[in-house]
Structure 1
Amino acid sequence: MESSSSEHTTQQPLLQPQLPNTNPETTSDLENTLSDDNLTLFRRMRKATWIESKILFRLATPTVIVYMINYLMSMSTQIFSGHLGNLELAAASLGNTGIQIFTYGLLLGMGSAVETLCGQAFGAQKYDMLGIYLQRSAVLLTITGILLTLIYVFSEPILLFLGESPEISSAAAVFVYGLIPQIFAYALNFPIQKFLQAQSIVVPSACISTATLAVHLLLTWVAVYKIGLGLLGASLVLSLSWWIVVIAQFVYIVRSDKCRSTWNGFSVQAFRGLPEFFKLSAASAVMLCLETWYFQILVLLAGLLENPELALDSLSICMTISGWVFMISVGFNAAASVRVGNELGAGHPKSAAFAVVIVTAYSFIISVAAAVTVMLLRHVISYGFTDGEAVAEAVSNLSPLLAASLILNGIQPVLSDVAVGCGWQAFVAYVNVGCYYVVGIPLGYLLGFYFKLGAKGIWSGMIGGTAMQTLILIWVTFRTDWKKEVDEARKRLDKWEDKKEPVLQ
């Protein structure tokens, strides 16, 4: 994490003739309240909390809906597959968590570069650059997607090479083939999503996702049970649903007045400066991939245990529930990144720091409530996925670890997205390498295989790595000099701002 050593100066962003979606509370009221020495500390904090809470929930609530519904599409596909049989559930779980999450993590991570640049550019009112960042990211992610297609095509030999069961690997490969179109939907969706979030435009995405979920459930039911397409049909419908979301969001951007200042059409600038843009995208990708692959490795290791079908079924159910609850944190994460990026771009260090505290507090409270709910329902939650009693008992035994993961997920992802808002991706990547791959995975392997604790041991060790990473992020965030981060944001925007080029006709 780099810090500027230059003296902090106040610089007002240039006014544009049209201010899209600018919230007065975001740009001035919170900073003024936090700087008002005429108020007592208690009154200042109370007023600031009220202002930030309104801003946060206006942004976070629709964002949570978007992420939860998008995740529910994958979750429902897994549930439909699970009711075909335990083999199909294990195959869909391995295909989703072992192959698909690799692509998801890589492309979402690369798309986070848009989150940093668009969030800070919007706060600084450099609106014309948002559309350029969107297009550059889409170009890079599409090129990456072409390369990732090879992993999907050769998924069966890859899974066999990793030591997975031949029967499960063969079925998982069939499921994965249907997810190939989803790769390119991801490549366009993530930049579009970050582009809209940076402007606090999230309600349209929530409406689009909600409508798409209804279509997805109907089409999956028809494909799996009425037409009898099985695993391949389930995954093809999932890919189609993601494309519906992408197309609908892009139509909104092109036709909406709210994006008039930030989307000026296709530009040749999208193909300029790609190597430098790739460096920031790569740092973002490494940071997020190290997190998503961490839990992917948990599932892959479980496939090497005795009775891998039971281990995969129970762990995949826990991971699915964790992922669903995690979407709440992800919604708050995205809000945190937007809030921090906007405030740094606008030159408001106190507001950026205060936004971190508030969003972390809310996300932690919600995650604790979710953990308590999981413990209360631990004996029955598996029956929504499969009817097996052995799986239900295994899930019940893993529930305390699931609850612990949920609590950690209420803090760690929020702080990771604060890092995205500040542009600290490279620093967090180093932290992730140490905590996850030097500590967590070796410890999980030791507990799971050497001490014969099975899935419980693997997961326990990996939770230790997550806990260590969370503590480091808390410490670093606590020690951050937010005035210097404002200077860094200004330097970053000055570096990435381009001269206007003609729009492609």
Structure 2
Amino acid sequence: MDSSEGDFYRPLPKSSHPSLTPQPSEIHDESSGELESILSDNGLPLLQRYRVATWIELKLLFYLAAPAVAVYLINYLMSMSTQIVSGHLGNLELAAASLGNTGIQIFAYGLMLGMGSAVETLCGQAYGAHKYEMLGVYLQRSIILLTLTGILLTFVYIFCKPLLILLGESPEIASAAAVFVYGLIPQIFAYAMNFPIQKFLQAQSIVAPSAYISAATLVVHLVLSWFVVYKVGLGLLGASLVLSLSWWIVVVAQFIYIVKSERCKETWAGFSVEAFSGLFGFFKLSAGSAVMLCLETWYFQVLVLLAGLLDNPELALDSLSICMTVSGWVFMISIGFNAAASVRVSNELGAGHPKSAAFSVKVVTSISFVISVISGLVVLALRRVISYAFTEGETVANAVSDLCPLLALTLILNGVQPVLSGVAVGCGWQTFVAYVNVGCYYVVGVPLGSLLGFYFKLGAKGIWSGMIGGTVMQTIILLLVTFRTDWNKEVEKATKRLNTWDDKEKPLLKD
């Protein structure tokens, strides 16, 4: 490496002025460098090295994970509150909002969040390598690609009524759902900006501002939803328009923070025509990220669809929907650790710290696993009463209690699997994981679940058990790949990947 390349790996000069406090990015750099130094110090006893390193890593992880969990939970609450507000208009409106949220919106959410995850890989590694000027370019490239994708998704929203009827929904519910979905069209383009901005900030370990913005927006969202739906009388359309507006409030507030904050002055230099170059290579990484995440997001939606084909679909759907809601809440915690794992791994690889990257993977996986085991045990302890938070029906309560062992196992797997996906994003393995997901989820899990559920007459338990089998296989594969990784080679790949963006004639990813 020549001296000019080496400059990218040296931290920017820090001010020595005594009145200035260190920026969080400086603290992160110092902690990261200290972690690598401790792990490389063979003069210290192994246990002492690991004890000190674990404390440093835990501080870095929870600084990232806690606000990230808050952001995802608040986003989840905004959609859920819109559904609740719509439900108080009537049963038809509740069905329409539920269908619009879980049938149409989740498709766009998974696709856009997945494509936005490409920013995690590149911004995270560039930030670790101190190539700060490239983060703003990556952000703009991602927004351009996601906006173009949003234009295509708009046609799905516009023609959602015939699509829903084609999928077997009644014309009455499909018509009402279409009205709700039309109000979500502006939300598509909020997604196109929000996810890249969110990942851009996360790559710099700036997560708390997004949490504060989301929390404030949730309050505004609840008040506006009540006023527009009940006082103005705009009904379903008003509920979805307010949800779209709330997402745009989050986007605008985050962008203002980026432009005005001193913490982003090195990474945001304004709009650049360079953002329009290298779009095809960026698209390949974005597409891999989208496929990886969408296959995971849609997997358990397939479980609900299959359950609707059972002999007693109403009971199966009621019990499964309660279990999936509980799983969704706990899953938000795992998604927070997913974001933290991605940032930590990408930052360390970009900084040329292989030992820190490997150690971070072990710590974040262990912590997330412990939390998920505790969640699973709580579910098992409350298995006979957990459903009464949703319904008073004793038959449903018994069905939910019967499914709780599978729910607990799913929670434990979800404590590990999303973290490994975050590691994959941090390393740039999205395309590989997409192939693994196809094989484990849709070649093994869905057919096995169908076989157990329908052929062997095990019902919802059989379908869920088979699909858990696919998740177990995927988790084992990712664990083996992750813990057998040569992290020195991953550092080399990260360096080549970042340098490739300086040489526009080469492809983004060679592996």
Fold conserved (TM > 0.5)?
A: yes
Distance change in 2, residues 1:351/1:15 (3 Å)? closer
Say yes or no: does 1:315 pair with 2:320.
Answer: yes
1:410-434 Cα offsets, whole Å, 9 max, x none, are: 0000001100000011111110010
| 1:200 has 2:205 as partner | yes
Aligned partner letter, 2:450: Y
Deviation at 1:160?
A: 2.7
Identify the residue that residue 4 of structure 1 maps to in structure 2. none
The correspondence of residues 170-185 of structure 1 with structure 2, limited to 5 A, is: 170-185=175-190
Which residue identity does 1:344 align to in structure 2?
Answer: L
1:3 maps to which residue?
Answer: none
Specify which of 422, 431, 434 is matched with residue 429 of structure 1.
Answer: 434
1:284 matched to 2:289? The reply is yes
**2:154 pairs with 1:152:** no
Which of 437, 450, 453 in structure 2 is aligned with 1:445? 450
Partners of 2:137 and 2:224 in 1: CA distance? 36
The residue identity in structure 1 corresponding to 2:467 is: M
Q: 1:318 to 1:81 in 2, by over 3 A?
A: farther
The Cα offsets for residues 332-351 of structure 1, whole Å up to 9 and x where unpaired, read as 11010000000000000000
What TM-score comes out, normalization by structure 2 length? 0.90
Secondary structure of the corresponding residue to residue 411 of structure 1: helix
Equivalent residue for 1:6? none
Q: Which has the higher contact order (CA 8 A, sep 6+)?
A: 1
The letter for the 2-side match of 1:75 is: M
Q: Secondary structure at the match of 2:258?
A: helix
Is 1:369 equivalent to 2:343 in the alignment? Answer: no
- Is the Cα–Cα contact under 8 Å of residues 179 and 239 in structure 1 kept in the other structure? yes
Residue 269 of structure 1 is matched in structure 2 by 274
Partner SS for 1:200: coil
Report the Cα distance in structure 2 between the residues aligned to 1:454 and 1:87, rounded to whole angstroms: 28
Find the aligned partners of 1:48 and 1:102 in 2 and give their Cα distance: 40
CA contact (8 A) 2:8 2:130 kept: no
Q: Which of 45-54 and 59-68 deviates more?
A: 59-68
The answer (yes or no) to whether the contact 2:32–2:356 under 8 Å persists in 1 is no
Residues 98-247 of structure 1 aligned to structure 2 (within 5 Å): 98-247=103-252
Q: Per-residue displacement from partner, 1:220-268 (whole Å, max 9, x unpaired)?
A: 3334444554443332222221111111101100111110010011111
Q: Secondary structure at the match of 1:201?
A: coil
Q: What CA distance in whole angstroms lies between the structure 2 residues aligned with 1:478 and 1:366? A: 21
Query: Aligned to 1:28, which of 10, 17, 33?
Result: 33
Quote the residue 2:306 is aligned against. 301
Once the two structures are superposed, residues 182-236 of structure 1 have per-residue CA deviations (whole angstroms, 9 ceiling, x without a partner) of 1111111000000000000011111001111112222233344445544433322
Deviations 1:148-201 (A, max 9, x none): 112222223222323345554444333323222211111110000000000000
Structure 2 counterpart of 1:251: 256
Counterpart of 2:9 in structure 1 is: 13
The residue type equivalent to 2:287 in the other structure is A
Deviations 1:384-430 (A, max 9, x none): 44565555444343333222211111000000110000001111111
State whether structure 2 residue 58 is matched by structure 1 residue 53: yes
Q: CA deviation at 1:89?
A: 4.3
Task: After superposition, give the CA deviation of every residue in 1:454-477 in whole Å (9 maximum; x if it has no partner).
Answer: 333322221111111001111111
Instruction: Kindly provide the amino acid, as one letter, of the partner of residue 151 in structure 2.
Output: I
Runs of 4+ in 1 over 6 A off after TM superposition: 9-12
CA contact under 8 A between 1:164 and 1:304: conserved in structure 2? no
| 2:368 counterpart of 1:360 | no
Aligned length, in residue pairs: 491
Please give the TM-score of this superposition, normalised by the length of structure 1: 0.91
8 Å CA contact 1:75, 1:320 repeated in 2: no
In the TM superposition, residue 375 of structure 1 has moved relative to its aligned partner by 2.8
Q: 2:83 is paired with a residue of what secondary structure?
A: helix
Structure 1 residue 282: Cα displacement = 0.8
CA positional deviation for 1:439: 0.6
Q: Secondary structure of 2:9's match? A: coil
* Secondary structure of the corresponding residue to residue 410 of structure 1: helix
Aligned to 1:325: 330
| Structure 1 pair 174–399 and aligned structure 2 pair: CA distance change class (3 A) | farther
* Partners of 2:233 and 2:388 in 1: CA distance: 23
How far apart in 1 are the matches of 2:79 and 2:471? 24
Contact 1:98 1:299 (8 Å CA) reproduced: no
Q: How well do the aligned residues superpose, as a CA RMSD in angstroms? A: 2.4
